[in-house]
Structure 1
């Protein structure tokens, strides 16, 4: 596997030197300064590429080339935004960057209710608590008709959870849930999120999937022409939040997307954390069924404390048997002769990084630890496989 790390750009507190010294050779990044929907021009791409090259690294994967909300809703200026997307694919490909990650999650890229869950060793992790989220949705945000999305028991449990919070803790919960897009430290306001939710009032799973498939039928031929690969990131978490549709959460979702647009370049960012948070997903079977569609790897792990709570766990310890996943991926790469780029997704916040400003899950030491563990695991499994083939 190609070892990579995510870098949010020149403003990132984690430097390219930090990443190089961690042992990664590839950089996963995006031009976050360009407004969503606008064209990524060659000059901007090459400028970022040069910064990375001068640090002795290579920009190997785009994460993400964001999809405008009007494309997701198929409204407004969406046709022009699709044309812009095509040009950005071409420009990235012309610069030699061929793997493009994106997602089709409405409004929010990811959701957690606690960004600082304290582990036994004092490190901190991301956590999702459904009671906390329900309390936020019904009693803090007060989304219209939100109460109809939950059972009486769920609302009772949520209210019990919320009644134990101080005003400061309620404000922190509100901030955590509505954290802005990755690469941005801007939080959504209640008014803004409610306005955005109104835009999706008439869009269900069926309509959102139709819009995704239309988008892919338009951009996949361009990607094919220029040798690019598209890797959709699964929904995080892999179930509906705020009443929004979810269409990349299950194995059936993947099947529908890949069958509708049967280009092998129409592929997957195989995120073991997002897919693994849904216990009904069989991560091994996804590799077996869609190995030729996997273009990028996010390796992380989660642990379900209960039916309503899951949290990030150590990369090698969690509900997902990561050693089995890595072995299957190595066998896949041996078969396809393609070395897939991998990054250690998320990581704990360790004491050494407490005073450094970083995005939740993206402090240096936690990801460095994950990268080291995954590299060691890969080396051991590769040795075992080579021995068995002799």
Structure 2
């Protein structure tokens, strides 16, 4: 299969390079979204039409919704008006914050994610504040005038497979339905049960919070779409999203002795991009089971039934609603699959490995 997740040399034409001092670059706050980019390659800036993944240095004009910038190590640096920041252009889709697209010019735009995404806001949720405004100075480029783009720094496809782990996906009804909490609880419980676990997030907006949660819960290998060269996954082609999934899964399978890979798919099933990935041939072929996370009992049951109706292997239902024993009881009375709360997963009372093995034996 052809992989297009790495752009490689010569993707963008050379442009007139405007020198930028090393001191100016060093003083700029660097975002999580560009964590894989070798910024030592930056020799200056160029102008032109921005593209998703382009690395941009910008000045903070006015503070709004995001007042801190997450760096590669998870530190959330306080921003001040006049600060210079290094972020990536990208499209964002977040129903509780912003929908935003890569702008057509280098004119002032918005910082639409704390992990460092520059874009033009299309619309926002009612509870979201006005976004932080930034003024791009230019696109970072190497000494030849070639733009630095996150895609050029993707992890390579491994040459060999060293393990054959079980693959369990966590899919949800929406943002904030409890997917990451479910992922972390599963990672913790399976680790306590003596299994070696990896956790990957294949779609979303560049930010380290979910990865830190997986790591803290015991996952020995954590990866996301930024490791595949993308600052965000919104508005990618189906082929690109499937390639991200394939690459990250291959990186896990290249690790000897791994027992389980947990896969988080961002947002909810009603996002067309999520639905298409979940229904893709590579997803069906690769995933051994699914835990569906719902914001409430009704969405949890409806989502699980939708997946089952599309012949996808749902093992259990969980999510934010299980924080309420009352809601969990409502769901358990109607659920086509077991309802697992966080404590059950954390303490390995019921493991997804056991559920998957039972399903295969049935």
Choose between structure 1 and 2: higher helix proportion: 1
Normalised to the residue count of structure 2, the TM-score between the two structures is: 0.32
Normalised to the residue count of structure 1, the TM-score between the two structures is: 0.30
